[in-house]
Amino acid sequence: MSLHATRYPGGVNPDIAPGWQLERLLQPSRLYGANGLRTGADGRLYVAQVSGSQISAIDVDTGLVESISPMGGDIVAPDDLAFDAAGNLFATEITEGRVSMLSPSGQSRVVCGDMPCANPITIYNGRLFAGECRPEGRIMELDLNGAPPRIILENVPMPNAMEVGPDGKLYFPVMGVNEIWRVNLDGGQPEVVATELGVPDAVKFDADGFIVSTQVGSGQVLRINPATGEREVLATIAPGLDNLSFIGKRLFVSSISGQVNEILGGGKLRSVIPDGMQFPLGLAVNEDGNLFIADGGFTYTMTPGGEPQVAGMLFSPGFPGYTRGVAASAPGEYVVTTANGQIARWQPAGQRSDILAEGFDRLYGVALAGDTVFAADAGSGRLLAVRNGEVSTLAQDLKEPMGVAVHDDAVLVAEEKAGRVVKVVGKRVETVLDGLRQPQGILVLGDLLYIVDVGAKSLIELNLSSGAQRTLAQNLPVGAPDGVVPKFLQAIPPLSGPMGPFAGIAAGADGTLYLSGDADGSVIALRPIVS
Contact by Cβ (8 Å): 222, 213: yes
Low-confidence stretches of the chain (pLDDT beneath 50): 1-4
pLDDT, position 1: 35
Q: 267: how many CB neighbours lie within 10 A of its CB?
A: 13
What are the phi and psi torsion angles at 470 (to 5°)? -150, 160
Contact by Cβ (8 Å): 138, 156: yes
3-state secondary structure of 231: strand
Helix (H), strand (E), coil (C) string for 135-180: CCEEEEEECCCCCCCEEEEEEECCECECEECCCCCEEEEECCCCEE
pLDDT, position 4: 41
Residues across the chain: 531
pLDDT, position 483: 83
pLDDT, position 143: 95
pLDDT, position 458: 97
pLDDT, position 495: 85
Kindly list the structural domains of the chain, giving each domain's residue range(s) and its CATH number in brackets, ordered by start: 32-273 (2.130.10.10), 283-528 (2.120.10.30)
3-state secondary structure of 267: helix
pLDDT, position 2: 36
pLDDT, position 5: 57
pLDDT, position 80: 98
pLDDT, position 146: 82
Alpha carbon 497 to chain centroid, angstroms: 12
51-69 pLDDT, tens per residue? 999 999 999 999 999 999 9
Q: What is the pTM of this model?
A: 0.95
